[in-house]
Amino acid sequence: MNLSVRNQLTIGAGLVLLMILTREYHFSSLHSLPGASWAIFFLAGLYLRSIWPLAGLFVLTWALDFSAYTWGGASSYCLTSSYVFLLPAYSALWYAGSWYARRYQFEWQTLLPLFLSLMTGAIVCEVFSSGGFYFFSGRFEETTLIEFGHRLVQYFPQYFGSLIFYIGIAAVIHTMFLIVQGSFRANNNRTI
């Protein structure tokens, strides 16, 4: 996937807007949209060639969460020292997207590496984010691997479902863009 700088900037701006609109405790309750953070980090790894957007998305995430807790009246329940575990969690999704970008082809065979990268990135993200919170937030008196396993079974499907929801939308947009682009090129070739 060799995107122009202009296309990368457009996609990056879209991802920033999506983060602002769907980050939990901000606007998402107004629109009933599931959080898109997981998909945003995956898509940033997929489409944006530089690692700098990863750092920028971390800063944006922190700023949105901090503002929600400070000025927006959101609960600070999740804002603990375990918040730092979001760094490796979201990085795993970014890396999974980057890994898939190197294997991407506009063919049906692309679905297997896409699924593998989504599943691997999501599992690693969930282990770091939920595991970090469960074991290191200080919110739970007794922590056990069995209880953590129950929590994974309870919460992971919802997060993975949101990831698949947004990746599905991105796949439709991506496919439509390629079809339109292909038609445009075919029409230009006929006129030459």
Domain boundaries, the chain: 5-191
Distance of CA 185 to the CA centre of its chain: 32
Please list, in sequence order, all residues whose beta carbon lies within 8 angstroms of the beta carbon of residue 109, skipping any fewer than 6 positions away.
Answer: none
What pLDDT does residue 30 have? 47
Q: Which amino acid is at 82?
A: S
Burial of 49 (0-12, 13-18, 19+ CB in 10 A): middle
Q: Which amino acid is at 178?
A: L
CB 82 within 8 A of CB 137: yes
Please list, in sequence order, all residues whose beta carbon lies within 8 angstroms of the beta carbon of residue 116, skipping any fewer than 6 positions away.
Answer: none
CB 85 within 8 A of CB 131: yes
What pLDDT does residue 192 have? 55
pLDDT digits 0-9 by tens, 44-94: 999 999 999 999 999 999 999 888 888 777 777 778 889 999 999 999 999
CB 75 within 8 A of CB 29: no
What pLDDT does residue 191 have? 59
- State how far the Cα of 148 lies from the Cα of 94, in Å rounded to an integer: 24
Rounded to an integer, the average pLDDT of 13-32 is 75
Q: Is the pLDDT of residue 29 over 60?
A: no
pLDDT digits 0-9 by tens, 148-183: 999 999 999 999 999 999 999 999 999 999 898 877
Helices (H), 106-144: 111-136
What pLDDT does residue 28 have? 47
Please list, in sequence order, all residues whose beta carbon lies within 8 angstroms of the beta carbon of residue 186, skipping any fewer than 6 positions away.
Answer: none
More reliable by pLDDT, 152 or 2: 152
What pLDDT does residue 103 have? 94
- State how far the Cα of 187 lies from the Cα of 192, in Å rounded to an integer: 9
Q: What is the pTM of this model?
A: 0.90
What pLDDT does residue 190 have? 65
